[in-house]
């Protein structure tokens, strides 16, 4: 059984499922920054797999969108890299279709801490008025 078969869930629509007991890929299969040496034990999801799935998601967005203009809402800070990769994939995919898309990105931050204590209230920090994205795809 290959590593891919160990993590693939062929009987469901869940895509790739990583089982708790799966040890991951051996580090010798990858190159990674020197400053991580000694800190990593294995690789669970290689960057190429993440980028492939991001491109698949971009294709779905382009196929499901009737408009040629899109506003992407990025939740900082954790979502920045994924949002950036997804927007670039959407632009790239749409260049190869009859409906070339223009994508604008708006940024917000969510704050749920007050004086180092978690609160149930989530504060949205970003554009003064989120109406700039109301009705946008």
107-121 pLDDT per residue, tens: 988 887 777 777 777
Mean pLDDT of the residues in the chain: 82
pLDDT at 12: 54
Residue 13 has pLDDT above 70, yes or no: no
91 burial class (0-12, 13-18, 19+ CB within 10 angstroms)?
Answer: middle
Adjacent-strand bridge partners of 103? 70
Indicate yes or no: pTM above 0.85: no
Size of the chain in residues: 137
pLDDT band at 87 (very low <50, low <70, confident <90, very high): very high
Residue 108: CB atoms within 10 A of its CB come to 16
**Separation in Å, CA 39 to CA 27, 31, 34, 42, 66:** 11, 14, 10, 10, 46
């Amino acid at each position: 059984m290959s590593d891919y078969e160990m993590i693939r869930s062929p009987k469901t629509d869940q895509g790739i499922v990583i089982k708790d007991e799966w040890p991951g890929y051996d580090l010798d299969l990858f190159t990674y920054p020197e400053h991580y040496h000694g800190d990593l034990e294995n690789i669970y999801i290689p960057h190429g797999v993440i980028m492939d799935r991001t491109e698949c998601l971009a294709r779905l967005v382009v196929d499901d969108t009737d408009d040629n203009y899109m506003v992407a809402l990025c939740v900082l800070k954790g979502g920045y890299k994924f949002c950036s990769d997804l927007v670039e994939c959407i632009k790239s995919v749409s260049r190869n279709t009859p409906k070339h898309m223009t994508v604008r990105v708006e940024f917000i931050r969510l704050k749920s801490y007050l004086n180092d204590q978690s609160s149930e209230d989530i504060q949205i920090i970003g554009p003064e008025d989120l109406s700039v994205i109301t009705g946008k795809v």
